Amino acid sequence: MLFPTVAFAVFFVVVFAANWVLRPHERAWRWFMLGASLYFYGYWDVRFVGLILFSIIANWLFGEAVRGALAPDGTKTSASRSLVGTAVAVNLGILGFFKYYGFFAESLLALGDRFGIGMSPPLLDVILPVGISFFTFQAMSYVIDIGRGEIRTMPLLDFGVFLSFFPQLVAGPIVRASEFGPQLADRPDPRHVRMPEAFRLIFRGLFKKVVIASFLGTNIVDPVYANPSEYSALENLLATYAYAIQIYADFSGYTDIAIGCALLIGFRFPQNFDQPYRSLSIQDFWRRWHMTLSRWLRDYLYIPLGGNRGTTGFVYRNLFLTMLLGGLWHGAAWTFVMWGALHGSYLVAERAIKARWEPRGHPAELVRVGQWLLTFHLVCFAWIFFRAETFTQATDVIGQILLGGGTGPLVTGLVVLTVIGALAVQFTPPDLARRAERALASTPLGVYAVGVALAFVVIDALGPEGVAPFIYFQF
């Protein structure tokens, strides 16, 4: 069930009304929200419901077992560590089977063919469940945090609501039990719902997805990346810039809608994007892009690997491995591994350069512009591998940018204006949205309702027929 559809609109109206009617009745509300979330998830394929139910029950049992294995003072024991390790292995095993089985089997066949070794691993037609990476990471963080003594276990029904909660179920943000659990115990007043903020986020998300992402994908990104050699250097370059905007508009659009919908039913999710294309370094980019994944990788992968502890070489290794595995998390293809390796290399190089060089003797503003230009283009270069379906396609795009000539019909004024405008918005003052919300809060209800209706009409008029799935659904 896609957000920008009539089906979701009807579903959400029913859930919104039932949510506030049932909220005073805690148990009934929990059962309803679990049922609604499972219906939302099963709308794509009812077989997926069994998988998420298994994940709920298995990880809840692991959490209970880990809690029971902790020392009386809540510290780790060898038994609790073993249980946490088993839970992580089970979760990664399920994720690996559904998401990576075909990738590794085909890679093994290719490797055997290269060395003349006949291999015949069974090639299974495995359907990738929508959003499996997101709810698997949430489940693992729950068990790991219990093992660290950072959170208490949740009742089974509460954990089921947490892991299946529909607004962020299929594409984030990655919400932790420590962020969601306390809100389950609250009894929010429907009169104090942050409606101006919620509707601002929802409409902003819809505009990003339905208008910006769809327009750029249809008019330049998809045709160029389908056959890069048929298009000019300028078309390939503009398509790469356009994809940077498209994936941001698509993914941040989803999380805007998810956060807005959650606000309307009394829950606040963590922020997931913070104007990432204004970053002046790759490290800053990862503090602003997919922020909940960045924190997850830091807390559950980078720090356990050793983090900033140890020699410089070990720190560089930890950075590189974290980003390499982060790339593989995004998709079962060597292009995603390359994307992660590039970002790992960027972070290592950036840290090495900063340790030896200070930009003295140059105007501060000129340095900042140079840092922004370099960061943005490094990110865009990596996006080529993220978007390309094969290495050949990626190298074709790079080759055409470097060696191709001409302009081409896809370089239109509207495409250029959309890319430039979307980049310019990244530099708007952070408090502009808060000022807009305060203005909306004082708007008369009738005017507010007309404004909401007009916003829907404008988005529908500017958007294409039909809505493509969100890019991050495949992850």
Q: Measured between alpha carbons, how far is residue 300 from residues 56, 74, 140, 153, 179 in Å?
A: 20, 19, 9, 19, 16
Taking Cα atoms as reference points, which of 339, 343, 347 lies closest to residue 315? Answer: 347
Determine the Cα–Cα distance for residues 135 and 174; give it in Å rounded to an integer: 8
Residue 429 gets which letter from DSSP? -
- The residue with tokens 């946490």 is 84
Taking Cα atoms as reference points, which of 475, 474, 459 lies closest to residue 213? Answer: 459
User: Which is it for the CA torsion 431, 435, 438, 440, positive or negative?
Assistant: negative
Gyration radius from the chain CA atoms: 24
Marked catalytic residue, from 192, 290, 330, 377: 330
Q: Do residues 300 and 279 lie in contact, with contact meaning Cβ atoms separated by under 8 Å?
A: no
Determine the Cα–Cα distance for residues 464 and 156; give it in Å rounded to an integer: 43
At 43, is the secondary structure helix, strand, or coil? coil
290 catalytic residue (yes or no): no
Q: Which two tokens stand for residue 372?
A: 């922004």
Other CB atoms within 10 Å distance of the CB of residue 113:
11
Which positions are annotated as active-site residues?
Answer: 330
